[in-house]
Every structure is written in C-alpha cells, then in structure tokens.
Amino acid sequence: MSDFKRLKLNLVKPVPSDYEISRNQTPKHISEVAAENGITETEIEPYGAYKGKVKLDVIDRLQHRKDGKYILVTGITPTPLGEGKSTTTVGLAQAIGATLGKKAFANVRQPSMGPTFGVKGGAAGGGFSQVIPMDEFNMHITGDIHAVGMANNLLAAALDTRMFHEATQSDKALWKRLCPEKKDGTRDIPIGLLPRIKKLGLDTIDPKEWTEEQVSKFVRLDVDPKTITWKRVLDLNDRSLRGVTINQAPTEKGLTRETGFDITVASEVMAILALSSSLKDMRERLGKMVVASSKAGEPITCEDLGCAGALTAIMKDAIKPNIMQTLEGTPVFVHAGPFANISIGASSVLADKMALKLAGTEPGLSAEEEKEQAGYVITEAGFDFTMGGERFLNIKCRSSGLSPDVIIIVATVRALKVHGGGAEVKAGAPLPLEYTTENVEMLRTGCANLQKHIQNAKEYGVDVIVAINRMSSDSAKEHEVIKEAALAAGATDAIVSNHWEEGGQGAKDLAEGVIKCAHKEYASQKNSGESFHYLYSTEGSSIEEKIESIAKVMYGAGSVEFLPQAQEKIKEYTAQGFSNLPICIAKTQYSLSHDAKLKGVPTGFVFPIRDIKASIGAGYLYALADQIQTIPGLATKCGFMNVEVNDQGEIEGLF
Amino acid sequence: MSDFKRLKLNLVKPVPSDYEISRNQTPKHISEVAAENGITETEIEPYGAYKGKVKLDVIDRLQHRKDGKYILVTGITPTPLGEGKSTTTVGLAQAIGATLGKKAFANVRQPSMGPTFGVKGGAAGGGFSQVIPMDEFNMHITGDIHAVGMANNLLAAALDTRMFHEATQSDKALWKRLCPEKKDGTRDIPIGLLPRIKKLGLDTIDPKEWTEEQVSKFVRLDVDPKTITWKRVLDLNDRSLRGVTINQAPTEKGLTRETGFDITVASEVMAILALSSSLKDMRERLGKMVVASSKAGEPITCEDLGCAGALTAIMKDAIKPNIMQTLEGTPVFVHAGPFANISIGASSVLADKMALKLAGTEPGLSAEEEKEQAGYVITEAGFDFTMGGERFLNIKCRSSGLSPDVIIIVATVRALKVHGGGAEVKAGAPLPLEYTTENVEMLRTGCANLQKHIQNAKEYGVDVIVAINRMSSDSAKEHEVIKEAALAAGATDAIVSNHWEEGGQGAKDLAEGVIKCAHKEYASQKNSGESFHYLYSTEGSSIEEKIESIAKVMYGAGSVEFLPQAQEKIKEYTAQGFSNLPICIAKTQYSLSHDAKLKGVPTGFVFPIRDIKASIGAGYLYALADQIQTIPGLATKCGFMNVEVNDQGEIEGLF
C-alpha cells in the first residue's frame, strides 16, 4: 500500500469531545480513499466529498484473489460502563493500517438515527479512534436506512390496502381490477403477480379457462388479521408508536386493526440487506418475507402481494457498501445495521466479502510473501460474544460461507468489576470507588465472565485474543490479572490497548498480536488441530434442539422451557417447512442468562422461550426469551436538545 | 456556453415508453454538467454519477451578477387528460439550452415516492422531454424527502414524549431531569432549551432564583391535546394511516390520542425547504413551526420543545439544491416538492436563486450583449395558474423577492374540450370521439377556461405566452382557435409545441417566443407600462380580506362563506399575531371553483372556507375549502405491481 496517505493525529490530553476531534481532522476526498485501496474510478460513486458507494463489480473483478484475514471483534457481557468494542474495531484498523502500514478495513454497522438523537451517542468509535466525519456517519450516510424504511413500509401499505380491497370487493371485481381484460380478450397481468400464479400452479392454464375457484384463490389472499407479523417502521425513538390502531379514518370503513411500529433497523429488510450475497439473492429474499398467514394457515409472502420487484428497486443502491475513513485515513465500510437483539447485529456480508477481496492476495505467492501482503478486515458483532458472536458465526457466517481467523474479546477493568460484584452504576452519579481504584479481588471474580466468553468462542475452533481496553485508573497489576485469567481460559493472548487516547499508535501491540495470531505464529497455536465449525447443524435438528444447544452450551442454562405460545409456533413453522433455519435468540444483553440481574457467570437456570417469530427472507427464526422493546423511547432530557447548527453550518453538540 | 456538450436524441416514432427512452440515453457525468454550467469543482458534490448537490456558496460567489430570465410554467384547470406542464418545462429547457445553445435551467420539484408506486407515474416530464435517469429522479435522489420525514417525525416524537413525561412527572422532577444540577450548584441547561428561557423572559434571572412558578412555566409546556396540529409523515400512499390512535402500548399508561399521518411532501418542513433563503433562515423557520397550543392558548413551537437545532442538523444537506440533466444534457435543478394542495406546489427558492445567478450576466454589458448572454430559468407551479401560479406569485415570490419575466400557460386541444363540455373521460375506457377528431365549437367553448387563467395571470402585470402542447389528433384549425382566444384574452402569443415527440427541436418556436417575450420584443409589449405586483398586501388586510380577494378575483366567486370552525380559527390566529401572513387556499384542482364538477369558468358561486390552519414556519396560513386528503391510497392494481429489477440490475416497468 505504497500510496496510502496517513492522516496525522494531533493527540492532546485530556481527550476532547468526539465531535471536536472529528471536526479538527480534514478527511481525504473519498475518491482518494477508494484509489488507495484498489477501488477503480468507475467502481466508486462518491456521495459528497467524504462518503461513497462501491459497486459490487469489485467482488467479481477480484474473485481470483485469496481473501485477507477476517477478524471479529466482540466483547464481554455489556455493563452500563461500556467496554469499547466499536472504538477497538476502529483503533485496531488504524493501528494495522496507519501505524503498521498494511491494508486494513474496519467494517461497521450504520447507526440508527433513533439513538443518535436519543441518549446513546454515536457509534463511530470515540476519542482518537473514530470514523469521520462523525456527523455524516451518524446521520443519513447515503440513505440506506431510509431505503430500508421505504421498502418495509411499502410492503405494509400493500398488505393493508389489499385487505381493504378484498374486504370491499367481490372476486369478480378484484379479478377485473387486478388483471383488466384487454381488447383481444386476454388479461393484462402485472409482472409482480406472476410468481403467485406460478405458486398456485396456474401458470400452465390459460386465464380464460380458470374456474371461479381458481380465480378466487388467485385474487383473494384471505389474510387472517390476527396472524399479521409485519409492522411499519421509523428510524426514530418514538415510544408513542409502540402500539397503535390504524384504519380509523372514515374512508377505511371501520376495518380498524391494532399494530405497532418498530425502529427501522429492526426491520427484516435490514437483516436481508446484511445477509444478501448479491442483488439477485436480495430480490429472492425480499420475495420470501412472510407477513401473515391466510385463514387456511398458509404463509402470505411479499411475493404474493406482488411487491418484491418494487422493494428491490427501492433497495437497488442500498445494496452497494458505503466507504468512509478513520481519523488516520484508513478505509471503513459502513453497511447495514440490523438490530442486535431480534436480529444479527452485524454489518453486511457483501461489505465483508468486498473488503476481504480488496485486502486479499494474488494467487501464487510464497507463505512469506503472502503474510507480507495480506490485509485485514476487522468487523464487529453486537453485544457480547455469546449473543453477537454466536449469531455472527451461526447465522452470518453460515449465510456467507466465510469464517473468522481471529476472535477478539474486548474487556475493561471497570466492566469486569461490575461482573465481580461492584456496586450498581447510576447515570449521572459519581462512580463508586472500586471502579476508579485498584481492586484485584473484585476484578478476579469478574474475570469469570470473560473466561466464559473465551470458552464459548473456542467452541467454534477459532483462536481468541483478549483486548484490554485501557483506562487511566487501571493498575498494571489489574491488567496482569486479566491476562492470567484469559490465558487460563484458552485465549491465545491478552493485550492492553490505548487507542482511545492515542489512536492507532495506542493499539500497536494489539495489532501485532492479532497479525501474529491470524498467521498462527503463537507457539500455542502450532499443531492445535482446531478448525472452524458451527455450534449446531440446521438440517436434521429440530427447532427445540437448536435452541437448547445455544442456551445450554453458550448461556449455561440447565434446561429450556418452551411456553405454550412458543410450542404452538414451533408446530406451525415446522408444518410450514421453516424448521431447518438457524435461530436468533432475543434476550437481555446484560447477562449471559435471560435475567439482566444475574451478573458474572450464572449456571443451571431454566431458560424460558416465550414466543418464536420468523424472518424467512433473512433466513432465520427468532426465539424470544423476553419482551423485547423494538422501538426505544426518548428520555425527558435527550440528545436532540444539545444539537445546534452554528453560523459556519457545522453541527454542534451531536455528542 | 461554448463547452456545452449536447446529448443527441435518437428520435423514433411511435414514441417508446418513458423508461426506454431514459435508459437508451447515456447521461453525462454530473461533474461535467456542473462544469459546463459554471459550477466549480469544490461547489459540486456528486451523489453517484448522475446526481449532485450544489453548495449554496455559488449564490454568494455570483451575487454581483444580474439574474437570468425567470420563466414560470403553469396550466389551465387540470383534467384527467393532463396537459403536460412538466413535459413543457423540460422540453422548453431542452429547446433553449440544446437547440438554441443558450443557458437554460429547468427547475422542478422532487417527486414523492408515494405516487411513484401508486398510479400517477413519473414527474420527470415524458417522451423526448425528460429528466434523466428517470428511475433515479423518481426514487430517493439524494435523500431530501427522507430528511424532511426524519425532521418532521423527530418533532412529533419530541412532542408526544414531552407530553408523556409531563403527565407522569412533577415540576421538580422535570426540572431536575431537563436541567440537572452540576457539582457547583449551577444547572446544566441544554442549548436547545435556551430559546424558551429567553421567550419566557427568564434569561436575565439566575436559575437559582427562579420561583416555583417560573420553573413550572419553563418545564411544563402544558400542551392541550385537542389543539395538536402536528402529524407524522411517510412518503407513501398508505391510506391505513389517515386516522390512527397512538400510545396504545402498556408502557404509555393509557395516554392514547387520535392523530394521523400525512404524505411527507405535505409536511411543513417540506414547505420550509422550498421557501428558505439560507441555512440560517431555515433554522429560524423550523423553530417557529407551531405544533399545538398550550391549555392557556399560547402557541407551542418546535423551539419550545428544544428541537430546532436538531431538525436543522437533519436538514443540513437537504438545503443544497440537487442537479441532474435533461435527455439533451441541459441542467436541471430538482429541489423540494411541497404538496400542491395545502402548500405551494413549487420547487425551492434557493434552486431558483442559484439558477438565476448561474444563468445571469456580468454587470456592465450593453443591452444587446446582455440579451445575447442571458440565460433562462424555467420553473413550474403545481396545478393550474389560478392555484399554483397564484401561490407562486403571492407566497413564493413574496418570500424570495423574485418575480417572473414570462408566465407560460400550457393547454392542449383535448383538455380544453373537457372544459367545453366533452364527455367524461374514464380511465381504461376508449376516449370519446370528440377528443380524437376535430370539434371546433366544443374547443371554442372550452377556451373560456384558458382565457380566465390568462386574465388572472395578467392581474399581476406579467406577460403571458400560451404553449399549445401538440397531440397528433389536433387539427391546424383547432390550434388557430386557441391562438385567437388567447390573444383576445391578453396573451402576448400562443405557440404550438411538439417537444414530447421531438425533444427540444419540437419546442424551438416556443423557445424563440419565450425569449422574445422575456426581452419585451413583441410589439404588444412596448410601452405597456405593466410591472409586477402582488394580488393583495399581507399587512393591513385581514385574513378574510385576503381570502376574499383570491376567491373573487382569481376563482370568480360571488362571495365567501366562513364556516364556524374557520371563524374561530381566524379569531385565534389574529389574536396570536398571525394575521399578516399570505394565504394558501386548499381546494379541488379540477375546477376554478371549490366544486370539481364545475368545468369551464363558473362564476357567482359562494366559496366556502371550512377551516384555517397555520404553517407559521413556512410563513402562510392555509384555508380549507374542502376536505383535503393529505395521504393518498393505493388502488387495487397499482404501480408497484409492474416494477421488477432485471438481471442487469436495471429497473423495469417503473412507468
């Protein structure tokens, strides 16, 4: 990467606000970032000066290359103190790319604007490890979330409108309107309705010959309103929309219905964006999305509504990964952002494939040349290893066919102390003393949580590096304790990193360890004989068995209790032929168990499954261990109140 | 414009579908279009290859220039047959720009995606007079409508959440949460709440000294739920959302409320985007938007909710006009698209100002040089002259300080026959004979409608050219009849144009007439002494007087009846100090009157005003003569059913 232009950091202490740091760095034009990373002029589509979309052609052009190394960043069980996964992802990319001068891509999710204007703050890393410009990163980017929302909501409108028209028209009227008779007596059938004709086996019969029953079957989807799972979405924290009654205008003739809105990133369309491997694959997945059942119990899909082509048209540009850069000018792919709870919480397969080819090596190199030239793709999974990492491996990797070379588990001294029994942390209140002074015993107890995640990761046959995200109040002794515990649990190494304060330079040791691990150069890796495998097989094991293996092996449950609603859904989905899909378990992220109060490493508990839902287009079922809130609310004082645009047109107070 | 590269048209007959024509033309890269039109490399921000945003700096850089000529395209009273206003706007720009080789900008609205997937079809012109690529034009563009929706809905969420928090918390708790006490005893006041402190006159008092009553006044907006006018929006035809009940989830504690959704283009934020003259002006307008009244009857604004800065941040890029191109490579600004019924139905002031400077001339030229070098900005107003044109002049021009040099009224033989008593036209059914064969008498009767629009336009002191949009079934005699009627009513000229079939070449005569008219070279223009003026003054005339002058002078009403709800609102808005704003009257577009059935030129009717609403940020009141549907529905068979993405990734069947 001889022509890489590193952006110099102007390190200052104390570390200024994220926004100040972002604004004080002048990014390279995105065309320059693209060119430096082997993307041709015709493959990059700039969106303004600092963002661009990259055409999928890149993947085809570089198909012959051997992929670069694939690094997955995950964490310990989250605590209110955070552990800095995104910051580590970005800091590590800066270290490998800018400090060590190798190719390095950070692949991250596009943040939802809901939390941006709520309380959470940005998702672009932080301190001197950030994606820039951070305001552009946190708002709109190139409009992909907006496209997801449009696609999701067009399908919702199509469904409700179809139900309205079916309720107010005879079969004959529907037939006449959907497929008007032409002058020559044939029917004008919209292209979007052909798949349903085929599904019903009517494609071999001239429409003139259809019986009344066949016409009825075709024109009347006969949706059972009680079974509708499709909701509308907005990319905002709008609690008022959690539960709504629609169709209340007089024009809707009393056909009211209770439903609700989700936040856009919870849409199945977003999960499809993350998991699709091509435009064609996305088209097929969109068509397969199930929105309800008919009164006869058959799944009603997007394809049945004649909507899949239009949804694909809406998503045509969204499928191209977005490229931005870090504070030090290394490349970042920002693409897709599915909800981390009811979905996979990881960025897109296509961005990963694209980055792995761009970071890849030409065939025919010696092992040494290959190590010298190989690049790195660092990506992140939502929440901890046991939620985000598990889904990344069992759902995303199964869909992509890829597997990571190294799993990083991020931990901090403070967060581990929460798991070791530290006092409750309250927003706004001063931190209890144990978090700001050395407390080796509490930390040692808390390390059990880290160890469980390491052991869980090792179940998949992948090597683990623990990244100790350094804070100024840590002691050297404390770092030593974490390292000892990590190695004892099977980690290949545990390395302190200071990227928040120092950018890539602060993560240099971590970067060197990760590179060494990716090339299997640690002594402990020699002849380990381990290789990647999934936790469970999707075919030939029941829905219950898959859930049990996640709950028992990963979470430490003694047993799983399937509540009546869940049992019913298992029966239904099995009958509909959906039992061979992987499972996403939606539960609290604040404990390895289903109970947020259980810190550390709870074991032997009964893990409840309340309900099961289906994302057939995305390709998984999701099992609910909890009531999951799928659209957040705003606090009394919230993020938007701090935001202003100054006279120079710059955004102030975003974080 | 020596370096303009004309894209050659491959004219074929019969004229293929809009989409085929669009796809068969290879557009220039948008950077090339920008450069050809005097936009510098640092002023253009490409969004993909064929769209770009232009920074507002252009306007400042060219401030010294004399504006180009400003041409407003309007039409006769719409009929189901259409008259081709957008097509004429684009065709005329192609004629002046590509055929005659002068600078010519077409300034058009961004279409809503609701109708795109409904039934209406594209809004990019048609035939050989189009904005390309038409699929990009009709979907997303650079995301401005999405930004408008986000801004609108953040405000809605902020309002409902504030009401929830006020209903469930004491003044003391609200004060503590909104402005937490810092260690030093001072309060941490979010920047977004400062304007309310100022409005209440509390900015000069130390918060520590505030009385309980003052604290209460500050923290409690005390919204009267019955008075809420702010609705949520989606850019879709979703009839189910016309009337909804929100807050029905158990978390919302029974605080349910009836409301509804509008289509995004009906949002006041969209009107503000169209009417703002700078980022700062937009910030102020967003803050002034009134969402409800307090129980004491005071208007509650976006500023009171602490939201205006965040909304401005969301809209920061949307304010930059988007540039695209016509089929012949001439420049098009696509910016803002406010609803044509409850709003102004015109594209943005900023795009017009920018285009007028880019089409402008340097100071110190002779009259001849100026005529030689002057460029033309052709823009459009929704519906007919009497709705769209009236608002364009009384609201948009009043806001911008600009005024048009020529008003074009587009008419077709067919549409005039509808006004002359032609049989009703039904979608799908064959056209009645009178529309496809010569019928001079019917046409002559229908011309009264055209004449009324011409006379209305002349009220403002602007010269009128009638564009006869040619169709193949027209006879020469029929064109002659229209011309005679137009001249008799005071039009400067009436010119046949065939741009749909022939592109710019087909509108060459029209272009020459418009140029001649803009430079006052018609004999009838010499010494006419006319100059531009508004229909009514905003200051010193009451709301009733303004409405009466529009209804009587423009529509031909005998009198205006203000129904009780309207009377009450007039009192309320007058008391709140909003009576000095211009008025937008929302009525059917299918008649000069309030009754869609009255074709031709009805007179003497009683014009009813049912209700009055306020768009204080946008800067007008709107008076409802009708129940206006602010979110359309989808038909049984609708646009989206024809859309597919083919294996080459191209969109099929969009129109």
Q: Which tens digits make up the pLDDT trace of A124-172?
A: 889 999 999 999 999 999 999 999 999 999 999 999 999 999 999 999 9
According to DSSP, the residues that pair with A586 across neighbouring strands are: A624
pLDDT of residue B2: 46
Q: Distance (Å, rounded) from C-alpha B636 to C-alpha A221?
A: 13
Secondary structure in 3-state letters for A89-126:
HHHHHHHHHHHCCCCEEEEECCCCHHHHHCCCCCCCEE
Place of tokens 């009846």: B561
DSSP tag of A179: S
Q: Distance (Å, rounded) from C-alpha B83 to C-alpha B646?
A: 33
CATH architecture of the domain A543-624 equals Roll (3.10)
| pLDDT above 70: residue B122 | no
Range in B166-170, B607-611, B642-646 the model is least confident about: B642-646
According to DSSP, the residues that pair with A45 across neighbouring strands are: A53
Query: Of all helices (H) and strands (E), which one includes residue B652?
Result: strand B651-652
Strand A606-609 with A583-586, pairing:
unpaired
Q: Do A161 and B634 touch (CB under 8 A)?
A: yes
Task: Return phi, psi of residue A407, to 5°.
Answer: -110, 125
CATH architecture of the domain A145-314 equals 2-Layer Sandwich (3.30)
Q: Which two tokens stand for residue B500?
A: 């749909």
Peptide bond between residue B14 and the one before it cis (omega within 30 degrees of 0): yes
Q: Residue A269: helix, strand or coil by DSSP?
A: helix
Task: Return phi, psi of residue B244, to 5°.
Answer: -135, 155
Give B247 to chain A, closest Cα distance, Å.
4
Report, as an integer, the average pLDDT of B359-367: 95
Q: Distance (Å, rounded) from C-alpha A309 to C-alpha A155?
A: 11
In total, the C-beta contacts within 8 angstroms joining chain A to chain B are: 281
Q: Distance (Å, rounded) from C-alpha B54 to C-alpha B128?
A: 26
Q: Residue A230: helix, strand or coil by DSSP?
A: coil
Same fold, A18-141+317-521 and A543-624: no
Q: Do A310 and B117 touch (CB under 8 A)?
A: yes
Give A191 to chain B, closest Cα distance, Å.
5
- Say which of B45, B235, B314 has its CB closest to residue A49: B45
Q: Residue B484: helix, strand or coil by DSSP?
A: helix
Q: At what angle do helices A144-168 and A308-315 cross, to 10 degrees?
A: 160
pLDDT of residue B1: 43
Q: What angle do CA A317, A319, A325 make, to 5 degrees?
A: 90
Q: Do A309 and B143 touch (CB under 8 A)?
A: no
A residues 250-269 closer than 8 Å to B (CB): 250-252, 257-258, 260
pLDDT of residue B121: 55
| pLDDT above 70: residue A122 | no
Q: Do A192 and B248 touch (CB under 8 A)?
A: no
pLDDT tier at B316, thresholds 50, 70, 90: very high
| pLDDT above 80: residue B258 | yes
pLDDT tier at A506, thresholds 50, 70, 90: very high
B residues 144-163 closer than 8 Å to A (CB): 146-147, 149-150, 153-154, 156-158, 160-161
| pLDDT above 50: residue A1 | no
Q: E strands, B188-285, where?
A: 232-234, 244-246, 257-259, 261-263
| pLDDT above 60: residue B359 | yes
Distances (CA, A) of B320 to B43, B124, B277, B288: 10, 20, 11, 21
pLDDT tier at A581, thresholds 50, 70, 90: very high
**What are the b/e assignments for B288-322, b being 16+ CB within 10 Å?**
bbbbbbbeeebbbbbbbbbbbbbbbbbbbbbbbbb
Q: Quick one: what percent of chain B has pLDDT higher than 90?
A: 88
- Say which of B45, B234, B649 has its CB closest to residue A48: B45
B98 close to B342: Cβ distance less than 8 angstroms? no
Report, as an integer, the average pLDDT of A2-28: 91
A residues 101-140 closer than 8 Å to B (CB): 113, 117, 135, 139-140
Q: Do A640 and B139 touch (CB under 8 A)?
A: no
Q: Distance (Å, rounded) from C-alpha B206 to C-alpha A76?
A: 46
Q: Chain A partners of B175 at a C-beta cutoff of 8 Å?
A: none
Report, as an integer, the average pLDDT of A269-293: 97
A652 interfacial to chain B (CB closer than 8 Å): yes
Domain range annotation of chain A: 18-141+317-521, 145-314, 543-624
Per the CATH hierarchy, to which homologous superfamily does domain B145-313 belong?
Domain 2, N(10)-formyltetrahydrofolate synthetase (3.30.1510.10)
pLDDT of residue B471: 93
Torsion of CA B571, B577, B582, B586, to 10 degrees: -40
| pLDDT above 50: residue A2 | no
Q: Residue B323: helix, strand or coil by DSSP?
A: strand
According to DSSP, the residues that pair with A245 across neighbouring strands are: A258, B245
pLDDT of residue A225: 97
Q: State the average pLDDT for chain B.
A: 95
Report, as an integer, the average pLDDT of A469-473: 94
Q: Do A316 and B651 touch (CB under 8 A)?
A: yes
Q: Chain A partners of B157 at a C-beta cutoff of 8 Å?
A: 236-240, 634
CATH architecture of the domain A18-141+317-521 equals 3-Layer(aba) Sandwich (3.40)
- Say which of B180, B238, B243 has its CB closest to residue A157: B238
Q: Chain B partners of A245 at a C-beta cutoff of 8 Å?
A: 244-245, 248
pLDDT tier at B85, thresholds 50, 70, 90: very high
Report, as an integer, the average pLDDT of A59-88: 94
Distances (CA, A) of B620 to A195, B394, B543, B580, B613: 49, 10, 11, 9, 9
B627 interfacial to chain A (CB closer than 8 Å): no
Give B640 to chain A, closest Cα distance, Å.
5
Q: Do A317 and B280 touch (CB under 8 A)?
A: no
Q: Distance (Å, rounded) from C-alpha B589 to C-alpha B603?
A: 16
pLDDT of residue A121: 55
B residues 17-76 closer than 8 Å to A (CB): 45-49, 53
Q: Distance (Å, rounded) from C-alpha B142 to C-alpha B505?
A: 31
Report, as an integer, the average pLDDT of B148-160: 98
Q: Chain B partners of A147 at a C-beta cutoff of 8 Å?
A: 140
Report, as an integer, the average pLDDT of A632-649: 90
Q: Which fold has domain B18-135+317-523?
A: Rossmann fold (3.40.50)
Distances (CA, A) of A429 to A121, A636, B181: 18, 17, 11
Q: State the average pLDDT for chain A.
A: 95
Q: Which two tokens stand for residue A372?
A: 């010298």
